[in-house]
Chains A and B, each alone.
Chain A
Amino acid sequence: MSAEPMTTVAAAGAADTVESVFPQLEALLPLVQKPIQYVGGELNAVSKPWQSTTVRWALMYPDAYEVGVPNQGVQILYEVLNEQPDVLAERTYAVWSDLETLMRQHDVPQFTVDAHRPVGAFDVFGLSFATELGYTNMLTALDLAGIPLQAGERGDEHPIVLAGGHAAFNPEPIADFIDAAVIGDGEQAALEITALIRDFKAEGSPGGREQLLMRLAQTGGVYVPAFYDVEYHDDGRIKRVIPSRPGVPWRVSKHTVTDLDAWPYPKKPLVPLAESVHERASVEIFRGCTRGCRFCQAGMITRPVRERSITGIGEMVEQSLQATGFEEVGLLSLSSADHSEIKEVAKGLADRYEGTNTSLSLPSTRVDAFNIDLANELSRSGRRSGLTFAPEGGSERIRKVINKMVTEDDLIRTVTTAYGNGWRQVKLYFMCGLPTETDDDVLQIAELAREVIKTGREVAGRKDIRCTVSIGGFVPKPHTPFQWAAQLDHETTDARLMKLRNVIRDDRQFGKSIGFRYHDGKPGIVEGLLSRGDRRVGRVIEAVWRDGGRFDGWSEHFSFERWMRCADQALADLPVDVDWFTTREREFSEVLPWDHLDSGLDKDWLWEDWQDSLNEVEVDDCRWTPCFDCGVCPQMGTDIEIGPTGKQLLPLTAIGAGAEALRG
């Protein structure tokens, strides 16, 4: 491809009404770490003339570029929006503090990496929150973009600040800073919002910002926090949340895309030049999960299960490889081995790509011996990736509490098969701080790991096998049966983790074969505050940000002390504090901050499931047992979409888009 000298970028900017800030930025880039993350120019990135479009989105993943660029949500929206001829979507990411300082010194605004346009010039500034720990980065971006932090201070000249992603299922902690939130699948919703804005602008934007937000709110699928009033009891609990004006619905619904084969995105995944956290193409093989793990927010809020067909998967894998040149394709979902035709998918893909050094991986698999066969099949064509399983709980009892229906026998059988098939290392994920958990539940993780190594040594006939135990603190999340649960305080979490570490370390026979990785409990408390917080938490976020808080998902930047200090000050005149939001158990009657956001889950069912949890009663999966009335399908008018289709993947010829041109 021909070169793209800087002058063309500048010239294109000059023809626009919005200038590229690249010339100013370029002079700063030699002074910062990893400047490549700010220049864009990725393979499959899109650029369009500003004037040729009517609705313009700046999409942000509010973390560093290396984390944000592989994000599937942003890539899907980027492509879906840019496919519309009159729509422009560009991407922006959080800038590191070295560049932030220079941008402030030299008056360079928050910019998109595609055409380096100022974020403040777009119609919509959409942020995808996979985690609550990106909230402070949102404030940096707003501030650098010249957009007032408080939604109420914005005028017609500012973009609509729109939040999405899983964290947006409780947007109350950021209600002061966003104009709107969308919950659920974004692809159709983004197009509907676009159509609404297109019409609004065509009419000459009657009534300005306020009226546009009103039109969005009236759809029932866009939450505008400013149109709702929250009233509190004297003790700090919420009394009620009510629409503050006529025409605004009492509850806002989540969006659900059906027929995944009709939405084969991303078709052309972005290939960054800079190194990113996932150096692979990803194909989502199904959305939703009904395994019913009670801690899992993703599994609860993405229901029902909607599968992509085997042929749809085959086409997306091939298209991704052709478009990117990646060596690995991840078959993503919340529990990938649960696809109704996963065996056929794995075999078909392994046959297709045998001998091409292409790796296929199933990132999320359950503890199931069947998955070893799958892993064997998938590693036929490329490198063999590690095996990771997530029993989540150490004892049989706690696994019943969380509805992770895996027995110790299952686990031992699975890892035995793994070690017997030549794997030398198995990684096991657990959580600490689950409801009703005792020290003993956690210490049983060591027992389990010992048993894994013992059996593994027998079947492998050698001693050099390893098992890594990875464990993090549990954070109760909205829209799950554990939304009422008390979060475990960080002191107890850490003490439990230390006890477990000591038991493993002191084991003379097996300890050296067991790796132990853990995350301390403090970040979990902040995540818990932001997950189940209400509007009063917004002032804490702002105080932390003003105090210098950035990149809270990075342990080297995260400051627990700062969050606690700022929370103490910001909440001083209120009857609530950090403990109230985190370690306090809620009652059924309490109005939860997210009750007016409808994920489809029936609150009564969630409560029953919470009670079942306390009674150690398990609930099966509605894909192969009768419906257990979680409420989603009738509430959302959706249904499970699964195979089998009975179809097969046919062999393909050599990969490589240019293969024919090369040989003539």
Chain B
Amino acid sequence: MARQPPERDNAPAVQKLRLRYAKRGRLRFTSHRDIQRALERALRRAGVPMAYSSGFTPHPKISYAGAAAMGAASEAEYLEISVTERLDPDRVRAALDAALPPGLDVVDVVEAAPGALADVLQASEWAIQLPDVSAGQAGDAVAALMAKGEVEVERMMKSGPRRFDARGPIVRLAADSGQTTSGAPCAILRLVVRHATPAVRPDDVLTALRQVAGLTPPVPPLVTRLAQGPLDPESGTVADPLAADRASVDDAVAANPHPR
């Protein structure tokens, strides 16, 4: 005999919002679960009227798009929330940002257009800072990797070690010279990678660079996701994934200029 979950008169969702947030500085060491908890609490603190799932343990309705790994900073993480009353996205952005600890920063909020967020998050652009590596060294390694058609790497997954091609999904990879936060010269890799299964991450690309060209950074690299969104295959650039949502809201405002 199965237990029946208690009846709850949870208010229905009337609006879906898409959020872009950044994970900066020391908060790049948060895991995805850490961020989930922090976000749920911030939503409560900010008084955002969340829609809840039903069942024994109701959860606020939040869906996360592929999150950057622990240790990687990001300027472009995305998620969707469902709320039970219509809200001004800008106010939600300010209120939620104020309720989150510094370093988890809400950058943008828009009302969601129809269609799945995951469908527009096709590729990512990354910056990989390599302290104590020269741009020349890095450039040689990049050239060696890009000359290959396929480079198989291995990564430890929850299910055990898994081998996959790290070269195929790379759309663009270039080495530049730059500076670390303390002002020391270093190499900076710019990477555009198509989202595949499993997702090829910057550390997989670094593994491939080590395998192909023996590039071994002496200090752990500082990795930052700069953008996520639709991929323009011609230019190899990543566009704003919320552009379509913004356009559809503009259309709605044009049709009905005085909501509420």
Interface residues of A in 19-71 (CB under 8 A from B): 22-23, 26-27, 29-31, 34-36, 38-43
* Interface check A275, CB cutoff 8 A: yes
CA distance A141 to B115 in the complex (A): 54
B46 lies within 8 A of A656 (CB): yes
* Interface check A279, CB cutoff 8 A: yes
A325 lies within 8 A of B45 (CB): yes
* Interface check A627, CB cutoff 8 A: no
Residue of B whose beta carbon sits closest to that of A28: B220
Select the stretch in B34-42, B193-201, B236-244, B247-255 that faces chain A.
B34-42
- Picked from A3, A324, A357, A462, the residue with its CB within 8 Å of the CB of B22 is A3
Residue of B whose beta carbon sits closest to that of A27: B219
A657 lies within 8 A of B45 (CB): yes
CB contacts between A and B, total, < 8 Å = 141
Residue of B whose beta carbon sits closest to that of A424: B3
Question: Knowing A3-B22, A273-B34, A275-B37 touch, does A322 contact B45 (C-beta < 8 A)?
Answer: yes
Residue of A whose beta carbon sits closest to that of B100: A1
* Interface check A5, CB cutoff 8 A: yes
* Interface check B116, CB cutoff 8 A: no
A5 lies within 8 A of B220 (CB): no
Most chain B Cβ neighbours within 10 Å, of A30, A274, A659, A664: A30
Q: How far is the CB of A221 from chain B (nearest CB, A)?
A: 37
- Picked from A4, A30, A324, A660, the residue with its CB within 8 Å of the CB of B25 is A4
A27 lies within 8 A of B47 (CB): no
Question: Knowing A3-B25, A4-B25, A36-B34 touch, does A658 contact B101 (C-beta < 8 A)?
Answer: no
- Picked from B38, B98, B220, the residue with its CB within 8 Å of the CB of A31 is B220
CA distance A483 to B91 in the complex (A): 61
* Interface check B78, CB cutoff 8 A: no
* Interface check B92, CB cutoff 8 A: yes
* Interface check A555, CB cutoff 8 A: no
CA distance A449 to B41 in the complex (A): 39
Residue of A whose beta carbon sits closest to that of B31: A36
CA distance A161 to B25 in the complex (A): 33
* Interface check B24, CB cutoff 8 A: yes
Chain A residue contacts of B214, Cβ below 8 A: none
Chain A residue contacts of B71, Cβ below 8 A: 29-30, 35
Interface residues of A in 219-273 (CB under 8 A from B): 271, 273
Most chain A Cβ neighbours within 10 Å, of B3, B25, B99, B182: B25
Chain A residue contacts of B3, Cβ below 8 A: 424
- Picked from B29, B41, B45, B105, the residue with its CB within 8 Å of the CB of A35 is B29
**Contact code string A84-113 (vs B, CB < 8 Å = 1, else 0):** 000000000000000000000000000000
**Contact code string B43-54 (vs A, CB < 8 Å = 1, else 0):** 111111000100
Interface residues of B in 13-70 (CB under 8 A from A): 22, 24-27, 29-31, 33-35, 37-38, 40-48, 52, 56-58, 70
Chain A residue contacts of B153, Cβ below 8 A: none
- Picked from A30, A271, A424, A664, the residue with its CB within 8 Å of the CB of B41 is A271
Question: Knowing A1-B105, A7-B181, A325-B99 touch, does A662 contact B91 (C-beta < 8 A)?
Answer: yes
- Picked from A3, A22, A43, A357, the residue with its CB within 8 Å of the CB of B58 is A357
A658 lies within 8 A of B41 (CB): no
Q: How far is the CB of B114 from chain A (nearest CB, A)?
A: 25
Question: Knowing A1-B97, A662-B91 touch, does A36 contact B30 (C-beta < 8 A)?
Answer: yes
* Interface check B95, CB cutoff 8 A: yes
Chain B residue contacts of A29, Cβ below 8 A: 29, 71
Q: How far is the CB of A141 from chain B (nearest CB, A)?
A: 21
B220 lies within 8 A of A39 (CB): no
* Interface check B87, CB cutoff 8 A: yes
* Interface check A464, CB cutoff 8 A: yes
Question: Knowing A273-B38, A656-B45, A659-B47 touch, does A27 contact B99 (C-beta < 8 A)?
Answer: no
* Interface check A2, CB cutoff 8 A: yes
A36 lies within 8 A of B29 (CB): yes
A357 lies within 8 A of B52 (CB): yes
Q: How far is the CB of A660 from chain B (nearest CB, A)?
A: 8
- Picked from B25, B44, B58, B95, the residue with its CB within 8 Å of the CB of A655 is B44
B103 lies within 8 A of A325 (CB): no
* Interface check B136, CB cutoff 8 A: no
Q: How far is the CB of B243 from chain A (nearest CB, A)?
A: 24
CA distance A40 to B166 in the complex (A): 35
B26 lies within 8 A of A26 (CB): yes
* Interface check B12, CB cutoff 8 A: no
Question: Knowing A4-B102, A273-B34, A658-B98 touch, does A39 contact B44 (C-beta < 8 A)?
Answer: no
Interface residues of A in 621-664 (CB under 8 A from B): 654-664
B41 lies within 8 A of A325 (CB): yes
B25 lies within 8 A of A5 (CB): yes
Residue of A whose beta carbon sits closest to that of B182: A23
CA distance A279 to B44 in the complex (A): 14
Residue of A whose beta carbon sits closest to that of B45: A325
Interface residues of A in 280-298 (CB under 8 A from B): none
CA distance A321 to B41 in the complex (A): 10
* Interface check A499, CB cutoff 8 A: no
CA distance A34 to B34 in the complex (A): 10
Residue of A whose beta carbon sits closest to that of B220: A30
Question: Knowing A1-B97, A1-B100, A275-B37 touch, does A325 contact B25 (C-beta < 8 A)?
Answer: no
Chain B residue contacts of A464, Cβ below 8 A: 1
B46 lies within 8 A of A657 (CB): yes
B103 lies within 8 A of A3 (CB): yes
Q: How far is the CB of A464 from chain B (nearest CB, A)?
A: 7
Q: How far is the CB of A347 from chain B (nearest CB, A)?
A: 19
Q: How far is the CB of A19 from chain B (nearest CB, A)?
A: 13
B29 lies within 8 A of A2 (CB): no
Chain B residue contacts of A1, Cβ below 8 A: 97-98, 100-102, 105
A326 lies within 8 A of B33 (CB): no
Interface residues of A in 340-363 (CB under 8 A from B): 357
CA distance A319 to B233 in the complex (A): 52
CA distance A510 to B1 in the complex (A): 19
* Interface check A327, CB cutoff 8 A: yes
Chain B residue contacts of A271, Cβ below 8 A: 38, 41, 101
CA distance A663 to B91 in the complex (A): 8
B27 lies within 8 A of A39 (CB): yes
* Interface check B234, CB cutoff 8 A: no
* Interface check B226, CB cutoff 8 A: no
CA distance A598 to B113 in the complex (A): 69
* Interface check B94, CB cutoff 8 A: yes
- Picked from A9, A27, A383, A663, the residue with its CB within 8 Å of the CB of B57 is A383
Q: How far is the CB of B108 from chain A (nearest CB, A)?
A: 14
21 inter-chain pairs at a CB distance below 8 angstroms, sorted by A residue, are A1-B97, A3-B24, A10-B182, A22-B26, A23-B182, A30-B220, A36-B29, A39-B29, A271-B101, A273-B34, A273-B37, A273-B101, A383-B58, A654-B47, A658-B46, A658-B48, A658-B99, A662-B47, A662-B91, A662-B92, A663-B91
Known: A1-B105, A43-B38, A273-B30. 5 other contacts (CB 8 A): A2-B102, A43-B100, A273-B101, A357-B52, A383-B57
Leading 7 A-B pairs by shortest Cβ distance: A656-B47, A659-B47, A325-B41, A325-B45, A658-B46, A658-B95, A30-B220
